[in-house]
Amino acid sequence: MSERTEPRPRRGSNGNASGHSANMTHREVRSNLARAAALVLAAAVLVVTPGVSAATTHPRETHDLDEEARATLLRVACNEHTAGKPVAQALVERVGLHTARLTSAPDGAREATPVGLLDAFRGERCPEPQREIDYRADALGDVEGDVTEFRRLVRGALADPRGWSLDGDLAFVSDEDDAQFTVWLASPEEVAAANEVCSPDYSCRVGDDIYINDVRWRDPPDTFAGEELDDYRRYVVNHEVGHWLGHGHFDCAEEGEAAPVMQQQSIDLEGCEANVWPLEWERDPVRDDWLP
């Protein structure tokens, strides 16, 4: 997991939206979704406000979601397309209110009624990013990993509020034409050829190119043996993008604690626990450097 250490020149702000232009069909679909959402919301309002006494007959506690359930639903509802929208509306548009469809949601969310879900996010809006960074994700060389899956995972890791998105303040937007950096799913040969400091055994970042090693992508290092495959993948994306954002490496601070994402966790956990997301003190300098 080596990388060139010279400082990368900071890019100027390119806060422009990336010019996604919806065609008519897309617009119609969105309009229909919005109408459906409005109907469901209207129905929910009718249900929860039969009279002023609704608040006492339906105690607030029954609509409260635990923190994990709320966080999961926020991740489902909010992305770069739903910035600034009411969370409840975004949730309806993205997955409907069939709670059974929220397969990744923790128990607290699956057990909630549709009305409870809407109520839990009353008055809350999806975060609006303060800055956009355009990136590209693609394959390089002879790779066996699934490129569509690779793109999906990179996108999810970068959009996750726990990561470098800084709770949604920084939006990473997939845009091939204006990409400020590229994440490659690269064959070991391509990784090694990228720069003399890169090894065919690890991933590597050289300037604005991030090479995710295709062999590691499919077969994680031993340090991640007990973890989900996708967690290792998110870790390596976060680690290498962390370099692009300006970070060097950190060591495990205390045995048994979560490892910094900028620790070389693929090589040695140094007594720390494997960890996918940047620690708060790793996110702070990125906040200082990248947000207005």
Give me the residues that bind Zn ion (CB under 5 A), please: 1
Task: Compute the least distance from the CB of residue 272 to Zn ion, in Å.
Answer: 15
Strand locations in the chain (E):
131-140, 170-174, 181-186, 204-206, 209-213
H helix runs in 160-228, sequence order: 188-194, 214-218
Q: Which residue is nearest to Zn ion (CB)?
A: 1
Considering the complex, state which of residue 1 and residue 69 has its C-beta at the smaller distance from Zn ion: 1
Give the span between the Cα atoms of 206 and 127, in whole angstroms: 32
Give the span between the Cα atoms of 106 and 96, in whole angstroms: 17
Task: Compute the least distance from the CB of residue 260 to Zn ion, in Å.
Answer: 11
- Beta-bridge partners for 86: 125
Task: Compute the least distance from the CB of residue 239 to Zn ion, in Å.
Answer: 6
Considering the complex, state which of residue 1 and residue 272 has its C-beta at the smaller distance from Zn ion: 1
Q: Which residues contact 281 (CB under 8 A, 6 or more apart)?
A: none
Considering the complex, state which of residue 118 and residue 236 has its C-beta at the smaller distance from Zn ion: 236
Considering the complex, state which of residue 1 and residue 173 has its C-beta at the smaller distance from Zn ion: 1
Task: Compute the least distance from the CB of residue 158 to Zn ion, in Å.
Answer: 17
Give the helix, strand, coil percentages of the chain, each rounded to 5: 40, 10, 45
Considering the complex, state which of residue 80 and residue 190 has its C-beta at the smaller distance from Zn ion: 190
Task: Compute the least distance from the CB of residue 3 to Zn ion, in Å.
Answer: 5
